Amino acid sequence: MRTSSYLRRRDQLTTYFDQTAAAAWAALTSNEPVNRIRATVRAGRDEMRATLMSWLPEDLNGKTLLDAGCGTGALAVDAARRGAHVIAIDVAANLVEVARKRAADEHLQGRIDFRVGDMLADAPATVDYTVAMDSLIHYDEVDVRRVVADLADRSGEGVLFTAAPWTPALGLMHFVGRLIPHQNNRAPAIEPLHIPKLKKALNEELGIAGWRTGQLARIKSGFYISQAVALNRS
């Protein structure tokens, strides 16, 4: 179910990733040189993507995978290299365009259907796997739980997602950020979540539908910190 807070945040993210930060995001996710701080973020994100990919079967031939909030498409390419049919969807049309161009240069065993749209409303009703890497980190806990439940509902075999884990430093930044008046070009706030609480809630809410949280991994590299959570069929 898409709540008004989900839709409001999604629309802010559309403006931010499609316009304000599109060029910076394309550069961060490329092989171009970046400054030292961004290089640590890039390294952390590469490690996170490798971690998520290591939780999927090596052979993805015949499997469908939803890359929910695909950005410039690196994970979609990794999955299609292993044979998956990937549906890669993002609200930011400019990033999807970059992703399309980058994927066109790759030799893929599988294939990628890129779509511009909402990861819930415009995604297929059934897939085998869903991965949402760093695309839910700006939604609050209630919305993350609802989105993950919706993604699980349409995924036959597994859902992998990341959240921003609550740490004293991130909690403080979030608190201070809320005191500062919103400027249009500022990045939408990251919502730090208490991972044990989130895990417990997901097990309670989705256990009845046959899901259990599985692998967990926290990746920290410079300013990048992200927590991966797997939901598996129990």
* Residues found near ligand SAM in the complex (CB under 6 A): 10, 13, 17, 29, 69-71, 74, 89-92, 95, 118-119, 133-135
Q: 76: buried, middle or exposed (CB in 10 Å: 19+, 13-18, 0-12)?
A: buried
> What minimum distance in Å lies between the beta carbon of 228 and ligand SAM?
11
Q: Which is nearer to ligand SAM, 212 or 220 (CB)?
A: 220
Select the residue whose beta carbon is closest to ligand SAM and give its number.
71
**Beta-ladder partners of 226:** 219
Distance CA 234, CA 232 (A): 6
> What minimum distance in Å lies between the beta carbon of 29 and ligand SAM?
6
> What minimum distance in Å lies between the beta carbon of 186 and ligand SAM?
15
> What minimum distance in Å lies between the beta carbon of 124 and ligand SAM?
14
> What minimum distance in Å lies between the beta carbon of 234 and ligand SAM?
26
Q: Which is nearer to ligand SAM, 79 or 133 (CB)?
A: 133
Q: Which is nearer to ligand SAM, 26 or 212 (CB)?
A: 26
Q: 12: buried, middle or exposed (CB in 10 Å: 19+, 13-18, 0-12)?
A: middle
Element housing 39 (H / E): helix 36-54
Q: Which is nearer to ligand SAM, 101 or 200 (CB)?
A: 101
| CA–CA distances in Å: residue 202 to residues 25, 105, 225 | 31, 39, 21
**161, 186, 159: which is closest to 173 by C-alpha?**
186
